[in-house]
Structure 1
Amino acid sequence: MAHAENAGATPPNTEFIVSPGLPDWLRRHRMSFGFTSYQTGQLFLVGLMPDGGISLNQQNYSQAMGLCWDQGRLYLASKFQIWRLENMLRPGQIGNDRFDAVFVPRNAHTTGDLDVHELGVDAAGQVIFANTSYSCLATLDPVDSFRPLWMPGFISELAAGDRCHLNGLAMLEGTPAFVTVVAATNEPGKWREHRSDGGLLIDVRTGGILAGGFSMPHSPRAVEEKVYLLDSGRGYVVQVDTGSGLCRDLAFAPGFMRGLEICGGFALVTLSKPRYGTFAGLPLDAELQARGLAPWCGVMIIDLSTGCLVEWFRLEGDITELFDVTAIPTIAAPMSVGVGSRELLDTISFDYFPCS
């Protein structure tokens, strides 16, 4: 049994099917997860209902992209704002008779259209994000659109134009550690000429290139002495040893990957079907044909020790492209309240204390 909810504007036509073992997997690992679609501008939260069915809650956030969980909060990058969503429920409370977390947008920082891809939160609690338009890492600023923190050594100036397609950010021990770029280019849009093998994994702390030769890499994630990333143009989840820079293919995915979460020895990966021209000229196209596979849209859960697909969540209908994914630990059935929804007007919480 499945349950889907949407508030706000008319939702796209969405149907989902899941692997038979997904409910039990979520229960055993005591988690739910969220993912985004910039194509339809939505945040999706997937959880487990009291009756054992899967819940899909979807809300509107324009061009929703980067998504992360930190200290009980969700952070979400949209077209020109970065949102902080707080769980309004107190321990033991239930929302709408079935949800054990209700995420409400409490703050929106307006950045302008920076094409923010991924984001994280550092040890001091400040949001760090991949400012793809300006080819740098940045943080929020109370006055300006952003405050630049770091850019690759081959970028000559801080200017708009997406010179290298800096799209992925890995945090480690509360600090930015690695980024992915599609190519080491220094002219607006030039990276598009190097999609097949120009991708790099760069160590932010040293400025050095840890590994290269990737095709459209996305979503680096640092775990101890390893970095996992999506070699999206080839269709492989890859492990990189931070000491030697050696790369190892872990799993193939039948679609264009853009979001990755590493959680308890598993990888959660978002897949997209191709938009016009997305796969053209990339190794992924030939690999799919050789395997006789059709690309699909959804989330795969992969066992990193074996590279095997263990569970999946698949979307059919109008939604064909996804972006980021994040695990939501200890919460079984999350929901969110959408920007511009009628529900948001009546969603009010406060911490009571006696007035003097």
Structure 2
Amino acid sequence: MRSVHTNNFPHILSQLGISLVVSTYQAGKLIILRGDGDYINTHFRIFQKPMGIAADPHKIAIGCSSQIWELNNVPAVAAKVEPEGKHDACFLPRKSHITGDIDIHEMEWGGKNNSDLWFVNTRFSCLCTLNKNYSFVPQWRPYFVTALTPEDRCHLNGLAMVNHSPKYITALGETDTMGGWRENKANGGILIDVASNEIISRGISMPHSPRWYRERLWVLESGQGSISTCDRDTGKLETITTFPGFTRGIDFYGNLAFIGLSQVRETAVFSGLPLTEKLDERICGVWVVNLETAQTVAFLKFEDAVQEIFAVRVLPNIRFPEIIDWDEQLIGSSYVLPDAALADVPQERLSMNN
């Protein structure tokens, strides 16, 4: 899991008071990037094929191979995690929802108090929410997809929220047959307005990760290895800058964008792309770009086992979090109760370390 980074990357994280959560389904890991003096501490946790991540300072949701994990931040536990006094957040598993193998892609919290979880169900070509009684609840699908069936007809993948509601989504093709998007993957990508169910931009090379930020619509044109903005009226994309890898996964903080890069393997899915034709060697890592100058200001590069990144999320106001995948002792001795119930707990129990 070796990595190298520019000298300024850990200081950027520390000065901003943030950390990053990164998923790599290829390596089966969730990676936490934490500034630790002059170095970035890359902390790995095991999840089964983690892809989409929805995150805020209070909770994290992770889309895995056949389930969605939800973890809650329990600050009281953070103080007890070794080494004591170093962590300022600890995300503990709270629940798991079994979805079946639906190839979950991007996820976002929305609705009132960010309590609703929206996610892209790529296998069924639809946008969904959760209900405890069902595997998933379809809420929307592109107008050209005529059936709810596990055939990955257009490779729906990216999701952008505006005012806590789904607004923009990306797909790799305007197709309605099983795997039909593969025939024109190099330039058949589209950007869709969810509310109107209209395509606002076509001809994109494998688009991912649309975002609405600072009154601009951003999208990663992964097949070009670039980040672009999209004019919502004309559908025209303007390339901001390009990178030495397949761009997928982005989050923002201030005037910086944190972007995931993947090597992409020489397989049928990634063959024939502009990126693979112009670059013999591609890089996997996280790049930091100044939105005002379009210049790369820092990066972290993985050198060995991690070859593909899916999601990159910022944890604001959290410098050194812990994420627990499964720790029997810690989970077994950590209790989260309503405030009213805590009033009945003896003080000596509240102050105990275990």
Same fold at TM > 0.5: yes
Q: Does 1:285 align with 2:273?
A: no
Partner residue, 2:44: 58
Could you tell me whether the CA contact under 8 Å between 2:7 and 2:39 is conserved in 1?
A: no
**SS at the partner of 2:279?**
helix
Question: C-alpha displacement at 1:225, in angstroms?
Answer: 3.3
1:203 corresponds in structure 2 to 193
Q: Does 1:44 align with 2:50?
A: no
Per-residue CA shift, 1:224-266, capped at 9, x if unaligned? 5321111001111111122443311011111112211122122
* Residue 291 (structure 2) aligned to one of 281, 294, 304: 304
Equivalent position amino acid for 2:261 in 1: L
How far has the Cα of 1:58 moved from its partner?
0.9
Q: Does 1:88 align with 2:79?
A: no
Q: How does 1:80-159 map to 2 (within 5 A)?
A: 80-90=66-76, 93=79, 95-96=81-82, 97=84, 98-124=86-112, 125-159=115-149
Q: How does 1:196-345 map to 2 (within 5 A)?
A: 196-277=186-267, 278-289=269-280, 294-339=281-326, 341-342=327-328, 344-345=330-331
Residues 228 and 240 in structure 1, CA contact (< 8 A), matched pair in contact too: yes
RMSD of aligned C-alpha atoms? 1.9
In structure 1, distance between residues paired with 2:308 and 2:78: 36
**For the Cα contact (< 8 Å) 2:92–2:331, is it kept in 1?**
no
Contact 1:225-1:241 at 8 Å conserved across structures: no
Distance 1:218 1:131 in 2: 14
Separation in 2, partners of 1:343, 1:57: 20
Match of 2:349 in 1: none
Counterpart residue identity of residue 284, structure 1: L
CA distance in 1 between partners of 2:140 and 2:126 (Å):
6
Q: Following TM superposition, by how much is the alpha carbon of 1:85 offset from its aligned partner in structure 2, in angstroms?
A: 1.1
1:160 counterpart SS class: coil
Matched AA of 1:122: G
For 1:161, what is the secondary structure of its paired residue? coil
Structure 2 distance, partners of 1:94, 1:302, is 35
Name the counterpart of 1:11: none
SS state at 1:196 partner: coil
CA–CA distance in structure 1, aligned partners of residues 44 and 192 of structure 2: 34
SS at structure 2 position matched to 1:233: helix
Q: Distance in 2 between matches of 1:344 and 1:71?
A: 21
**Count of residue pairs the alignment pairs up:** 337
Q: CA deviation at 1:64?
A: 0.2
8 A Cα contact 2:57 2:315, kept in partner = no
Are the aligned partners of 2:290 and 2:297 in contact in 1 as well (CA < 8 Å)? yes
Range with greater deviation from structure 2 (125-134 or 62-71)? 62-71
Which range moved further: 219-228 or 196-205?
219-228
Which shows bigger deviation, 54-63 or 176-185? 54-63
Cα distance change, pair 349–201 in 1 and its aligned pair in 2 (3 A): same
Give, as a single letter, the amino acid of the residue that structure 1 aligns with 2:148: L
SS in 2 for 1:302: strand
Between the aligned partners of 1:92 and 1:115, the Cα distance in structure 2 is: 32
CA–CA distance in structure 2, aligned partners of residues 206 and 85 of structure 1: 33
> What SS does the corresponding residue of 2:13 show, helix, strand or coil?
helix
Unaligned stretches of 5+ in structure 2? Answer: 347-354
| 8 A Cα contact 1:301 1:312, kept in partner | yes
The corresponding residue for 1:19 is 6
Which of residues 58, 79, 82 is equivalent to 1:72? 58
How much has 1:118 moved relative to structure 2?
A: 0.6
8 A Cα contact 1:225 1:242, kept in partner: no
1:55 and 1:333 in contact (8 A); partners too:
no
Deviation at 1:148, TM superposition (A): 0.6
Worse-superposed segment, 83-92 or 143-152 = 83-92
How far, CA to CA, are the matches of 2:20 and 2:259 in structure 1? Answer: 11
Confirm or deny: 8 A CA contact 1:218 1:230 kept in the other structure: yes
Determine the C-alpha separation between the residues in 2 that align with 1:287 and 1:263: 31
In structure 2, the CA distance between the partners of 1:92 and 1:333, relative to structure 1 (3 Å rule), is closer
